[in-house]
Amino acid sequence: MIKKLSSYKKGQPLIKNAYMSYALFGLFLALMPLFGYLGIIKSSYVTIIASVIYYSIAALGLNVLLGWTGLISLGTAGFMGLAAYISAYITYNMHLPFEIALVTAVVVSTLLGVLVGYISLRIEGIYLAIATLAVAEILRKTFEVFDPFTGGASGKPISYPTLFFFYKYSRADLKIFETLLYLILVLFLIAVMILVHNLMKGQVGRALNALRGSEAAAQAMGINLLKYRLFAFGFASATASLAGVLYVHYNRYTNPDRWLLALSLNLVAAIIIGGVRNIYGTILGVFIVVATKDMVLAQIPYFANNPNFALMFNGILIILIILYYPYGLIRIGADLKKLVVKIKEKF
Amino acid sequence: MDELQNKTVLSIQDLSISFGGIKAVDHLSFDVDEGEIFGLIGPNGAGKTTVFNCITQFYKPNHGSIRFKSKQGKTIELTTHKVHEVIGYGLVRTFQNVELIKELSILDNVLIGGHIDFKTSFIGQAFNTKKSKAEEALYRQEAIEILTFLGIADRKDWLVYGQPYGILKKIELARSLMCKPKLIILDEPAAGLNDLETLDFAKVIRQIRQRYNCSILLVEHDMRLVMDVCDRICAINFGKFLAVGTPGQIQKSPTVQAAYLGTENPA
């Protein structure tokens, strides 16, 4: 009996190689449009899953900052919006290819993020949250009033960009472009997952863990606080801006109301619900926060009639998880397995 | 700046630091020799930990010099360096209240001690290059060797969270050994340990000196441990120097006795 338990504890995962699991996960996501086409899932679900993908990209970077480094940012929406507007302007108004817009938007917002990271050396905790919130609100207000660049409060509609430097959008290609952009989303998500995996399992991840766990020990072990805080903020804003760029081109529209504090808070909630310092947990969390409202709760008549009550669902979930399940819902699988083993041994 | 004499590894001269009106360390001077186990003792509030924090640059002293012979063989004025640069010269410390990362495994905690030895860039690590993998494997092996030496390799993959205090102290020690130090500063290594663990720790301290060929500077309240392992001891009180010498000399020193036990006829 004891032997059985101990052999289970070693926990042979279904897929041993982490990269293999990411690739399979990516393949699974990439098949969604096909499932939609074949009628296995509602085709509107593909759009919802796409939103889970770009918000997951932002949330993964935020998890590096919040989960691994232990610093809070409520500015994610601001950085996403900034990159979205920059990219929209470059492709739609300046008629430059998507790739150039992507690089420019990510670089500009990341530099701004690094600047905020510099502030984080002076202020901490709730004050840092307020400072990042202020940055995001300033950005949002700018989107509203800076008409020629952003289209003001009524928003900025754009068309699909030129892809791979030559592939121009025409009306006949609508379906192809939609699917192509979806696949690009999947590719970027998998790339960010692998990037976070690689960085967090090695020296950089340990350094960030040390910053969170004990600043004194980190410094005594030669970890440069400034360097790693800037890295964490830079990484979080880079992924947020990448997500913003993907958002605006997939939806072909943005307005200032898309980049509210609620979005930043939802991403923080997603990390807490799904799993702090866990890659799949982050995505599960985003799925719960972003998609359950439309895919699950909307099926229940009560929630369908009162969509705002869906927010309550998230709130209750956060409270329950912080109180009783601090490592997030991603642990549920492993814990259930343990339970099954326990029950089996009793009989 | 004068080069340090051939045997001295750390030389503190005229060190002073005050917090507001309180002089925590007051014109203190002492030297630590290479390969020596050196104890710093004093009653509660004497300023021992403050001295340590000054040496490791957590505090910047108001006055005085702290020279150190680095593992690169150069004499270095520590006060001109930042706190995270100190370890690069082969000077490493542990903490009075163990400072470990609870959510990481023991092995990962030890690997944090090897942080400065990693040469792969962020980019190299992001792409998990061959060089990055080789480096990780190399230091992982080294960390396991240190854990084996300290006798806790069997639990290397366990989380630090929930480990007993004696093990935590050993993990911190293992972490400090990762950088191949020239001088290890131990802040109350036996605090919170039972008699048996303390005896074991004394043995470990001697073994470390032998194996790593380094000096050890320690603050400790457990007088049995101090008298047992230290080659020389410096006693301080209220930040001021009292006496320096072998354990026997310190025990007999009237000024030290007065500081610890009080005098019959207070002046």
Q: d(Cα A276, Cα A72) in Å, to the nearest integer? A: 13
The pair of structure tokens assigned to B248 is 């026997």
So what's the pLDDT on residue A145?
86
So what's the pLDDT on residue B239?
85
Q: d(Cα A92, Cα B6) in Å, to the nearest integer? A: 71
What percent of chain A is modeled with pLDDT above 70?
Answer: 93
| pLDDT tier for residue A14 given thresholds of 50, 70 and 90 | low
Q: d(Cα B186, Cα B52) in Å, to the nearest integer? A: 9
The CA-atom distances, in angstroms, between A310 and each of A74, A134, A281, A294 are 22, 27, 21, 9
**Chain A interface includes B22 (CB < 8 A):** no
What percent of chain B is modeled with pLDDT above 70?
Answer: 99
CATH number of the domain bearing residue A216 = 1.10.3470
So what's the pLDDT on residue B1?
65
Average pLDDT of the residues in A81-99: 87
Amino acid sitting at position B82: K
Residues A32-86: tens digit of each pLDDT = 888 888 888 887 888 889 999 999 999 999 999 999 999 988 989 999 999 999 9
The pair of structure tokens assigned to B196 is 């048996």
The CA-atom distances, in angstroms, between A193 and each of A85, A109, A189, A278, A317 are 25, 20, 6, 10, 25
Q: d(Cα A226, Cα A217) in Å, to the nearest integer? A: 15
Q: d(Cα A234, Cα A258) in Å, to the nearest integer? A: 22
Q: Where are the beta strands (DSSP E) in chain B?
A: 8-19, 22-33, 37-41, 63-69, 75-77, 91-93, 183-187, 215-219, 232-237, 240-245
Q: What is the mean pLDDT of chain A?
A: 85
- Which of A9, A203, A231 would best serve as a mutation to test chain B binding (most B beta carbons within 10 A)? A203
Q: Of the ranges A82-96, A139-153, B135-149, which one carries the lowest mean pLDDT score?
A: A139-153
Do B87 and A222 make contact, defined as CB atoms within 8 angstroms?
A: yes
| List of chain B residues whose C-beta atoms are within 8 Å of the C-beta of residue A277 | 103
**Chain A interface includes B116 (CB < 8 A):** yes
Higher pLDDT, A184 or B261: A184
So what's the pLDDT on residue B31?
92
Do A219 and B118 make contact, defined as CB atoms within 8 angstroms?
A: no
Q: Is the dihedral of CA A117, A123, A125, A130 positive or negative?
A: negative
The closest alpha carbon to B30, from B81, B65, B72, B76, belongs to B65
Range of the domain at A24: 2-346
So what's the pLDDT on residue B197?
87
| List of chain A residues whose C-beta atoms are within 8 Å of the C-beta of residue B111 | 203, 206
Rg of chain A over Cα atoms, rounded to whole angstroms, equals 21
Q: Of the ranges A45-54, A118-127, A193-202, A238-247, which one carries the lowest mean pLDDT score?
A: A118-127
The residues facing B25 across adjacent strands are B17
| List of chain A residues whose C-beta atoms are within 8 Å of the C-beta of residue B127 | 198
Query: Considering only residues 185 to 204 of chain B, which have any Cβ-Cβ distance to chain A shorter than 8 Å?
Result: none
Output the tens digit of pLDDT for each of chain B's 267 residues: 677 777 889 999 999 999 988 889 999 999 999 999 999 998 888 888 999 999 999 999 998 999 999 888 889 899 999 999 999 999 999 998 889 999 899 999 999 998 988 888 888 888 888 888 888 899 999 999 999 999 999 998 999 998 998 899 999 999 999 988 999 999 998 888 888 889 888 999 999 999 999 999 999 888 888 999 999 999 998 888 888 999 989 888 888 888 887 777 655
**Chain A interface includes B113 (CB < 8 A):** yes
Residues B34-83: tens digit of each pLDDT = 999 999 998 888 888 999 999 999 999 998 999 999 888 889 899 999 99
Q: d(Cα A225, Cα A210) in Å, to the nearest integer? A: 10
Q: In a 10 Å sphere around its CB, with 0-12 CB exposed, 13-18 middle and 19+ buried, how is residue A23 labelled?
A: middle
**Residue A207 in this model has a pLDDT that exceeds 80:** yes
So what's the pLDDT on residue B267?
53
Q: d(Cα A316, Cα A312) in Å, to the nearest integer? A: 6
Q: What is the DSSP letter of B129?
A: -
**Residue A136 in this model has a pLDDT that exceeds 80:** yes
- Going across the sheet that includes B91-93, the strands are B91-93, B183-187, B215-219, B37-41, B232-237, B240-245
Residues B110-139: tens digit of each pLDDT = 999 989 888 888 888 888 888 888 888 999
Q: d(Cα A6, Cα B247) in Å, to the nearest integer? A: 50
- For domain B8-103+176-261, give the CATH number: 3.40.50.300
So what's the pLDDT on residue A5?
42
Instruction: Estimate the crossing angle of helix A76-88 against helix A126-145, to 10 degrees.
Output: 30
Give the count of beta carbons closer than 10 Å to the beta carbon of residue A80. 34
The CA-atom distances, in angstroms, between B69 and each of A211, B58, B81, B102 are 29, 19, 14, 34
| pLDDT tier for residue A305 given thresholds of 50, 70 and 90 | confident
Q: d(Cα A331, Cα A314) in Å, to the nearest integer? A: 18
Do B125 and A206 make contact, defined as CB atoms within 8 angstroms?
A: no
| List of chain A residues whose C-beta atoms are within 8 Å of the C-beta of residue B157 | none
Does residue B165 contact residue B73 with C-beta atoms inside 8 Å? no
User: pTM of this prediction?
Assistant: 0.89
So what's the pLDDT on residue A96?
81
Does residue A59 contact residue A282 with C-beta atoms inside 8 Å? yes
Number of residues that make up chain B: 267
3-state helix, strand, coil in chain B (%, to 5): 40, 25, 35
Does residue B243 contact residue B253 with C-beta atoms inside 8 Å? yes
So what's the pLDDT on residue A119?
82
How many domains does chain A contain in total?
Answer: 1
Average pLDDT of the residues in A126-140: 90
So what's the pLDDT on residue A11?
47
So what's the pLDDT on residue A6?
42
Cβ neighbours of residue B94 closer than 8 Å, sequence gap 6 or more: B169, B172, B173, B175, B176, B184, B185, B186, B187, B189
Interface TM-score (ipTM) > 0.85: yes
